[in-house]
Amino acid sequence: MNELWKQVKLCIIMIKDILMYMDRNYVPKMKLPSMDQLQTSQFKHHVVLQPQIRNKLITMLLSQIDSERNGLMVEVS
């Protein structure tokens, strides 16, 4: 999941660079969400909130929280 998110963030940066002018000039005037907000929302909706992925993610996060509470180091990449 983390690797996929890194790839998505790289794409967000590339798209944002291409659409920088529009994002700076038109988005605020029209009171629209920024490119970052839209792309993060889409990633959340289409990836993170999918039932299979969401359940695995919750299980993994709870396992890491439990490990950290028991004194183990949790790797954050």
Report the pLDDT value the prediction gives residue 28, as an integer from 0 to 100.
81
pLDDT less than 70: residues of the chain: 77
Structure tokens at 59: 């299980």
Report the pLDDT value the prediction gives residue 77, as an integer from 0 to 100.
62
Cα 45-33-16 angle, rounded to 5 deg:
85
Residue spans of the domains in the chain: they are: 2-69
- Alpha-carbon separation of residue 44 from 8, 11, 36, 63 (angstroms): 11, 15, 12, 21
Q: What pTM was computed for the model?
A: 0.56
- Contact at 8 Å (CB) between 38 and 15? no
